Amino acid sequence: MVPPYSITEFARAVARRSQGQSVAGDLQVIRPDSDHGGGVPATLRAALIPQLARMMMSRLVQALFAQRTTLIDTQEEATRRMAELEERIARAQESLQGRFAAYENRIAELEKLLAAKEEESRELMRQNFQLAKRALEAENSPQPGRMDLSDAGFLLRA
C-alpha cells in the first residue's frame, strides 16, 4: 500500500477499504508479481546473480580505493601544512628570543645608567647639604666675617 499525501487522507482510505468500499485515487495497492524475473528463466537468473554480486563488489572496492587515495592525499597535505606551520613557529620563536635578549641587554644598560644617575644625585644632595650646613654655621657663628655663598647658590637650587 502506498499512502496518500496526508495522514488524515490515509486514515479515511483505510476506513473505506476496511468497509469494503473502493478506494479510487486515495490508496493504491501494489501487489508483487508472482514471477520476479520478468520472464527470465531461473537458471539464467541464478547464473547472473553471482556475476552481479562480483560486479557490485568490484565497484565498491574501486570506490573504497578512490576514497583511500583521497584520504592519503589529504593526510599528506595536512602533514605538509603542519610541517610548514611548525617551521614558521620555530622562526618566530627564534626571532622573539633574539628580541628578548636585546631588550634584556637594553634594560641592564638602562638600570646601570639609572644607578649612576641616582648615585650622582645622592652626591649632589650630600654636597648641597654640606654647603647649607656650612652656611647655617656661618650665620650662627659670632665671627664678624661672613662666608661668601655666591658659588653655592646653584647647588641649593639643584
Position 131 confidence tier, pLDDT thresholds 50, 70, 90: very high
> Which pairs with CB-CB distance under 8 Å and at least 24 residues apart come from 44-52?
none
The residue segments making up the domain with residue 1 are: 1-33
Query: What sign does the dihedral 19-21-27-33 (CA atoms) show?
Result: positive
* Domains: count for the chain: 1
Residue 84 in any domain: the answer is no
Contact 3, 10 (CB under 8 A): yes
For residues 27 and 3, the answer to whether their CB atoms sit within 8 Å is yes
Residue 102 has pLDDT above 70, yes or no: yes
Share of the chain above pLDDT 90, in %: 45
User: What integer best gives the mean pLDDT of the chain?
Assistant: 80
150 lies in a domain? no
SS3 at position 23? coil
Residue 131 resides in a domain:
no
CA 77 – CA 113 distance, rounded (Å): 54
